[in-house]
Amino acid sequence: MSKRFSSQKWKNILWSTLVTILCIACFPANPLVLTGVIEVESYSVLFIIGWVVWTFGMVLVMAPIVMFPRRGGVPKGKSFAHTTQLVDTGIYAIVRHPQYTGGILSIFLTTLLWFPHWLFAVLGVIGTAVTYMGCKEEDQRLIKKFGDDYAAYMKRVPGMNVFLGLFHLLQHRK
């Protein structure tokens, strides 16, 4: 095992652990709130908006599980992660990383909406930054996997900005 592989492996373990801790601390069924460690006031309007955001986020999280087996050339019996073809239709025509975007919405933003507290705002910013960095690394892996096709796709479709992606898609269709 090379030294580079070993340091990369540890880096991946560190990032995965950090993301896991942040996701647990900011999970909408929040352990800090449920155990009474943090007391927050809940506001009906924010709670309802939170449900809408959570639902949309979860749809995005599920996107690759549905789209990749259908359009990504996943070998029969394999996980959706074994996609062999670049998928750039459906939600993937709007954002390159719907699963990461959905995670940010359904975990970090929803928690802040349901339980407005400064700690969840801070953890949400950190979680969003870590997730964004993960997307950048994912882009590099996908360039290696799909080459120039993915590089061109990156120029057409934003990584995580749903609004910008919809705007580009609508502009392209005109």
With CA atoms as reference, report the closest residue to 145 among 72, 84, 74. 84
The dihedral through the CA atoms of 61, 67, 68, 69 has a sign that is positive
8-12, 100-104, 125-129, 154-158: which has the minimum mean pLDDT? 8-12
**pLDDT in the model for residue 35:** 86
pLDDT tens-digit profile of 32-72?
A: 888 888 899 889 999 999 999 999 999 999 898 888 988 99
* Cα–Cα dist 61/57, whole Å: 6
**pLDDT in the model for residue 26:** 67
The model's pTM: 0.81
Q: What is the mean pLDDT of the chain?
A: 88
Average pLDDT over residues 76-104: 92
Does residue 106 contact residue 127 with C-beta atoms inside 8 Å?
no
**pLDDT in the model for residue 8:** 67
First CA to last CA distance, the chain: 53
Average pLDDT over residues 138-165: 96
Burial, 77: exposed, middle or buried (Cβ in 10 Å; 0-12, 13-18, 19+)?
exposed
What's the half-sphere exposure (Cβ side, CA atoms, 13 Å) at 44? 0
